Chains A and B, each alone.
Chain A
Amino acid sequence: RKEVEQDPGPFNVPEGATVAFNCTYSNSASQSFFWYRQDCRKEPKLLMSVYSSGNEDGRFTAQLNRASQYISLLIRDSKLSDSATYLCVVDGSSNTGKLIFGQGTTLQVKP
């Protein structure tokens, strides 16, 4: 079983749609969770951290379910500029700061 699993997609949605991505992780001891965004041929960039209580940043909402070991990202009112690959990221060993990256979910927002 992969340490972090995501549906690779692609998710093709029209502008204005709401889309949700899920991710599961295997290490129940993980404490830190993130969503990164990666544009084509660019480096990953932090989109948002994921907190136990859930958190929102504009059109983006992240949720964490520790009991089921899954993380979600909801994007409302999709824009063309949201087209990218979204990486689910979970911490590994705390003293080294290692992160475990999912393979990513590709989103294509169409006009």
Chain B
Amino acid sequence: SQTIHQWPATLVQPVGSPLSLECTVEGTSNPNLYWYRQAAGRGLQLLFYSVGIGQISSEVPQNLSASRPQDRQFILSSKKLLLSDSGFYLCAWGRQGAGLQFFGPGTRLTVL
């Protein structure tokens, strides 16, 4: 069966510090991968998606970047965090050509 991991679960970072969040998927190959952010009391905002290694599409201009160095690894990064980067970051995977997505447990980021 497929599983998706995210770490860390929670993170508190000062403004201006760097960020690296990791997501890995097991039990499937060549998945589509997605990064979402959910601000407090708000809906899910798609940040990045990837349909293959090294392929990243950005949905909204922002202070973040993403990379996919391996088939089942998706990384979200920032060089300098802003207060507005606080939120709940969710990684998801889906099969190529299928609509369903499955979410990891998320990382709750607080920028102070």
* Total A-B Cβ pairs within 8 A: 54
Given contacts A43-B90, A43-B105, contact A101 B44 (CB under 8 A): yes
Which A residues between 41 and 80 are near B, CB-CB below 8 angstroms?
Answer: 41-46, 49
A97 interface residue (CB < 8 Å to B): yes
**Inside 8 A of A103's CB, which chain B residues have their CB?**
42-43
| Contact flags B74-112 to A (C-beta < 8 A → 1, else 0) | 000000000000001010001111111111111010000
1/0 contact trace for B58-83 toward A, CB 8 Å?
A: 00000000000000000000000000
B49 within 8 A of A: yes
Of the listed residues A44, A49, A87, A102, the one surrounded by the most CB atoms of chain B closer than 10 A to its CB is A44
Q: How many residues of A contact B (CB 8 A)?
A: 22
Of A34, A98, A104, the contact of B43 (CB 8 Å cutoff): A104
A96 interface residue (CB < 8 Å to B) = yes
Is B104 a contact of A98 with CB atoms below 8 Å?
Answer: no
A27, CB-defined interface residue at 8 Å: no
Chain A 68-111 residues near chain B, CB threshold 8 A: 87, 91, 94-99, 101-104
Q: Which of B51, B90, B95 has a CB less than 8 Å from the CB of A96?
A: B51
Contacts of B98 in A (CB 8 A): 97
What's the Cα separation between A43 and B1 when bound, in Å? 19
Residues of A within 8 A of B90 (CB): 43-44
Contacts of A96 in B (CB 8 A): 32, 49, 51, 57
Question: CA–CA, A34 to B103, complex, Å?
Answer: 14
On whether the beta carbons of A99 and B42 are closer than 8 Å, the reply is no
Task: List the interface of chain A (C-beta within 8 A of B).
Answer: 31-32, 34, 41-46, 49, 87, 91, 94-99, 101-104
What are 14 A-to-B residue pairs whose CB atoms are below 8 Å? A34-B100, A41-B88, A43-B106, A45-B103, A46-B100, A87-B44, A91-B99, A96-B32, A96-B51, A97-B32, A97-B96, A99-B94, A103-B42, A104-B43
